[in-house]
Amino acid sequence: MRFSRGSRNFVLGFVALVAAGYGAWQGYAFLQLQNFVLRELPVTEVNLVALDPKAGYRIIVANQIAQVVEQRGEQDETGFSDEELSGGASAEGASRLPVKDLLQALQGDDNALSQFVMSLNKISENDLPPNPVKWRQEDLELAFNGDSALRAQLEKDLNAKLDGTPLDEVRPSSLESGIVVDFPVEVTIKENVHHARVLVEYRTAFAREVMRRLEDRSTITEDTIRGTYLDEAQKILNGTKPKENIVESIRAKFSDARKAELRRAPQRVLGAVTVILNNEQMKSAAIEPYEASNGQRFHNLRVDLNDEGMKRLWKYSRENRGFQVLLTVDGIPVAAPRFRSELISHQVTINQLADARLAQDTADVINHNR
């Protein structure tokens, strides 16, 4: 098809007009946002939170529930896919991020930070003995360095001397449970240093071998325990088996290298969180129920923003196209909307909330805080 000179001039004129309009818009946006700084916001009751996918986790919606799971395989440039958003992607087997602990850790709660650090390192308190005998690193070092009372108690709890020699007495609970080492891990959050406490089990190699042998017995009595204990102890005493350097083994649990390893993932994730909006920018909220074509009932959450909220969302959406966020209320993920374009409005709508009570509770919290 060939265009006449007039048609060609019209097309060129139209393109030029569009280009001029686009340039004018970009200039306007630049003037509006050039001096606007996304100040760091604290976590509050209601938050719109973004998580950089480079942290190794991604936001998904599975069975209409917003979740943050460990990223596996290749994702798109933002770390999310349409399949995940629709609930088609399975989160089965993926490690989930404890969102409530994450948000509380950002608020400076060291107990939540402790749970967060342990969770990301796949350390569970459920794997610890039911009635743990806890020893803090600080007290362990005192026992190692000459505090006679602490040393005697530690050796009793381990059922072995620190040089690896078994004690004369047999304490089945010490053989079975050992001790739980409680040590601090420094984590930097927004340039502030916080201390998580990590709990790990420790039993001597001697105790583990005694218990391994006992597990193979059909019946276990006090005599069986004592006989197995004395047999294994004799191997160490006569040099058949080497003594364990217990001090070295325990210190390996909280070595500088181990602490650096434990803090790596939590610090990366905590540093990848951006609170785009919180209570301060949310003026009011309302629920708009509707029925989908399949007859299922959903609710849209409409949130009115103040000027700062409008500009924060505008600037973030302008610089991060196709981003996904979590809407959280009291640490609970309520929704995971994905915004594909630049948002310039004093009103933002979160679509397709399936839980009517959760949607209403969210609106009530926003309106109450107003």
Pairing outcome for strands 179-189 and 134-136: parallel
| pLDDT confidence bin for 165, thresholds 50/70/90 | very high
Alpha helices (H) in the chain, listed in sequence order: 5-33, 82-85, 99-106, 110-120, 137-144, 148-158, 172-177, 205-215, 222-237, 246-253, 256-271, 307-319, 356-369
| pLDDT confidence bin for 2, thresholds 50/70/90 | low
- Say whether pLDDT at 147 is over 70: yes
| Average pLDDT estimate for 9-20 | 44
Please indicate whether residue 288 or residue 26 has the higher confidence score (pLDDT): 288
Report the residue count for the chain. Answer: 370
pLDDT confidence of residue 27:
56
Rounded to whole angstroms, what are the CA distances from 324 to 73, 142, 327, 362? Answer: 18, 49, 10, 19
- Say whether pLDDT at 25 is over 70: no
> Hey, what are 234's tokens?
């004799």
The domain ranges of the chain are 111-270
Nearest-5° angle of CA 20, CA 22, CA 26?
115
Nearest-5° angle of CA 309, CA 312, CA 317?
125
Rounded to whole angstroms, what are the CA distances from 41 to 185, 277, 308? Answer: 25, 8, 12
Report whether 198 contacts 114 (CB < 8 A): yes
CB neighbourhood size of 64 (10 A): 13
| Average pLDDT estimate for 216-221 | 84
Of 56-65, 123-132, 288-297, give the lowest mean pLDDT range.
56-65
Nearest-5° angle of CA 285, CA 291, CA 297?
75
Among 273, 311, 279, CA closest to 35: 311
How confident is the model over 59-117, as pLDDT tens digits?
Answer: 887 777 788 888 866 544 444 444 444 444 445 667 889 999 999 999 999 999 999 99
pLDDT confidence of residue 117:
97
* Rounded Cα–Cα distance for residues 26 and 99 (Å): 36
pLDDT confidence of residue 73:
60
How confident is the model over 115-129, as pLDDT tens digits?
Answer: 999 999 999 999 999
pLDDT confidence of residue 29:
53
Q: What is the mean pLDDT of the chain?
A: 86
CB neighbourhood size of 49 (10 A): 23
Please indicate whether residue 9 or residue 52 has the higher confidence score (pLDDT): 52
How confident is the model over 231-240, as pLDDT tens digits?
Answer: 999 999 999 9
| Average pLDDT estimate for 194-219 | 94
pLDDT confidence of residue 296:
85
| Average pLDDT estimate for 224-235 | 95
How confident is the model over 326-345, as pLDDT tens digits?
Answer: 999 999 899 998 888 888 88
Please indicate whether residue 10 or residue 226 has the higher confidence score (pLDDT): 226
| pLDDT confidence bin for 6, thresholds 50/70/90 | low
How confident is the model over 237-256, as pLDDT tens digits?
Answer: 999 999 999 999 999 999 99
- Say whether pLDDT at 322 is over 70: yes
